[in-house]
Amino acid sequence: MKLKYALHRLREKGVMRCLGIMRERLLFTRWHLLWMERELDMPLNLRPLYPGLQWRRADSAGVQSLKQYFPAFAHLAPELLHEQTPGYLLFREETVVGYIWFSLRDYYDRQFYHYHFTVPEKSAFVINVELLPSLRRRGTASVITRIFADLRGRGVERISAVIADTNQPSLALALATGFNERGTMLQVSRYFGAFTRAQALSYEPPLLSHLRRYKGESAA
């Protein structure tokens, strides 16, 4: 199974991109992560859903369906489900086409940054979110806003996330779903795949004004 997945990623990304990823993971890589926040006492603009698109709370059956399009996350999802972290699956008809996962307590990110994130009381931290590219501009912001409403019903008052400054689609989606910049950038450096160093840097918002044109659209 691991060999099959490795061959799939090689065909998907190409040899040179895969070699670059190996260099980053084995030698050195650095991320600049923007802290984004959304207060859930702000209005939740619940627009009509795109036909055929819906969300459900994650369960063991749904997690198994992640293997079709999200094999890299499928191995982690059962652990998160066992830890009772709230996860949600996005469906088009009966096919899982996206997911979003949260932590309601301090979280150690073991998938990407290998960093401990502090999660205050009555807050949720976005562990990961991934959508099929075909979902862009197809109502995903409306679905995610409904998920926020479900979290609010579970006592969550604030959602925070960190997003790489190079990940323009995710930043645009965050703005479309009501997130704002905190004014903090987390610089995370990873050495030889084993040692992590992080530094919090302050900046004066807005840094993402060029993406504000996406705000208010019904999709990302």
Q: What is the pTM of this model?
A: 0.80
Task: Report residue 205 CA to chain centroid gap.
Answer: 21
How far apart (Å, rounded) are the C-alpha atoms in residues 184 and 205?
9
**Each residue's pLDDT tens digit, 113-142:** 888 999 999 999 999 999 998 877 677 888
Answer yes or no: is 184 within a domain: yes
Identify whether 12 is part of a domain. no
In a domain, residue 54? The reply is yes
Rounded-to-integer distance, Cα 142 and Cα 53, Å: 10
Q: Are strands 87-92 and 95-103 parallel, antiparallel or unpaired?
A: antiparallel
**Does residue 220 lie within any of the structural domains?**
no
Residue 1 lies in a domain: no
Rounded Cα gap, residues 55 and 27, in angstroms? 39
Beta-ladder partners of 180: 37
Distance of CA 127 to the CA centre of its chain: 6
Range of the domain at 194: 27-214
Residue 210: inside a domain: yes
Phi, psi dihedrals of residue 100, rounded to the nearest 5°? -145, 135
Judge whether 87 and 58 are in contact, CB under 8 Å: yes
39 falls within a domain: yes
How many domains does the chain contain in total? 1
Q: Residue 123: what residue type?
A: S
Q: Where are the alpha helices (DSSP H) in the chain?
A: 2-13, 15-26, 60-64, 71-74, 77-82, 140-153, 168-176
* pLDDT by position in tens, the chain (length 220): 445 555 555 555 566 665 665 555 566 688 899 999 999 987 777 777 778 888 999 999 889 999 999 998 998 999 999 999 999 999 988 899 999 999 999 999 987 888 899 999 999 999 999 999 887 767 788 889 999 999 999 999 999 999 999 999 899 989 989 999 999 999 988 776 667 788 889 999 888 888 875 444 333 3
| Contact (Cβ atoms closer than 8 angstroms) between residue 201 and residue 185 | yes
Give the CATH number for residue 124: 3.40.630.30
Helix (H, G, I), strand (E, B) or coil at 167: coil
Whether 7 maps to a domain, the answer reads no
Residue with tokens 């190996």: 22
